[in-house]
Amino acid sequence: MGLLGPRYMGSGLSVVEARVLYEIVHREPALARDIAAALRLDPGYLSRIVGRLLKRGLVERGRGEDARERPLSLTCTGKSAYDRLDRTTAAQTARLIAPLGEDGARRLAALLEEAGALLFGSKPGEWSLRTFRPGDMGLITARQSILYHETYGWGRGMEALIGEITAAFLRDFKPEREQCWIAERGGRMLGSVFLVEDDTETARLRLLYVEPEARGIGVGQALVKQCTAFARETGYRRIVLWTHAVLESARRIYAAEGYRIETHTHDDFGKPELSESWLLEL
C-alpha cells in the first residue's frame, strides 16, 4: 500500500498529509483543532502540515480572525490531487484483496471494523437483515452450539438438536411459507432466526440467537418482528415457539412482541431445565 515510503501512492504527499486531505474532504466544517483531535496529532505538528499544504496550493482557509476557527477546504488543485489519490488507493486496495474472493473480503472488512473498535473506540457500522445463503446453516449451528455450551453448559444434545433443525430446514424448505433471516454487519453474522411451517395456520419461530457483541442494539427485536411480519403476510394465524427460562433476553423480546407463555421441565441437555412454550395470535 506504500504506507512506509516517503510519499504515499506516488502522490508526492506523506501518509499524514494525505490523511489530512481526507479529513478536510469528509468534515463540515473542517477545523484544524478537530482534525488534530481525531488523528491524535500535536496541534503544532498539524499546523506545520497545514502550512505545507497551503504553500503547495492544495488547501485554503476560510475567513475568521482565529486561524484555529477558520475552516479548511481544498483548492481546485487540491481536489484534483485528492481525486487522483483516491482512485489510486481504490485500485491498489482492489488488487490487494482480489485473491480473497467475496467471502474473504467480507471477513476482512468485519475484522478491520472490529480492530478499529477495539483500538480506537470507533463506532461499529450499520447492521442489516438478509435472507440465508449457502454456508449459513453450518455457521449458525457452530456459533449457537459454542455459545450455549460456554454460557449454560449445554452439551452434545443441544448441538445435535440445532444441527437437526438446520438440516431439516434446508431439506424441506418452502420458500413461500418459510424463511431464515441473518443479521450482519460488515459481512459478520450478528444473529439469526427461523420461521417454519408447523401446520397450515401455525408458524414456528426457531433458533433465535444474537452474538454477545451485538446485544442491546435491537438485533433480536428486529429478527422477531421480521418473523411476525412474514407470518402475517403469508396468512398464518399464529406463531408458536419453544425456549428456556434462562434465556432472559429472548424472553423479554417475545413478551414485548405480544407472546404469552406456558412452561414445563425437561433434562434433554444433561440437566433439568425449565422450558417454555410461547404463543402469538396474529
User: 128-281 has which CATH code?
Assistant: 3.40.630.30
Give me the pLDDT at residue 271, please: 54
Give me the pLDDT at residue 113, please: 73
Q: Maximum distance among all alpha carbons in the chain? A: 77
Average pLDDT across each block of 10 residues of the chain; the chain has 282 residues. List them in order: 58 86 88 87 90 92 74 92 89 87 77 72 74 94 93 89 95 96 89 96 96 88 96 96 87 93 62 77 94
Domain with CATH 1.10.10.10 in the chain: 8-120
Q: Supply the Cα-derived Rg of the chain in whole angstroms.
A: 26
E strand or H helix at 235 = none
What is d(CA 247, CA 265) in angstroms, rounded to the nearest whole number? 14
Beta carbons of 30 and 58 less than 8 angstroms apart: no
Give me the pLDDT at residue 146, please: 93
Q: In the CATH hierarchy, which top-level class contains the domain 8-120?
A: mainly alpha
Whether the predicted model's global pTM rises above the 0.75 cut = no
Domain with CATH 3.40.630.30 in the chain: 128-281
DSSP string, 10-64: GSSS-HHHHHHHHHHHT-SS--HHHHHHHHT--HHHHHHHHHHHHHTTSEEE-S-
For the four alpha carbons of 97, 98, 99 and 100, in that order, the dihedral sign comes to positive
Give me the pLDDT at residue 229, please: 95
Give me the pLDDT at residue 43, please: 87
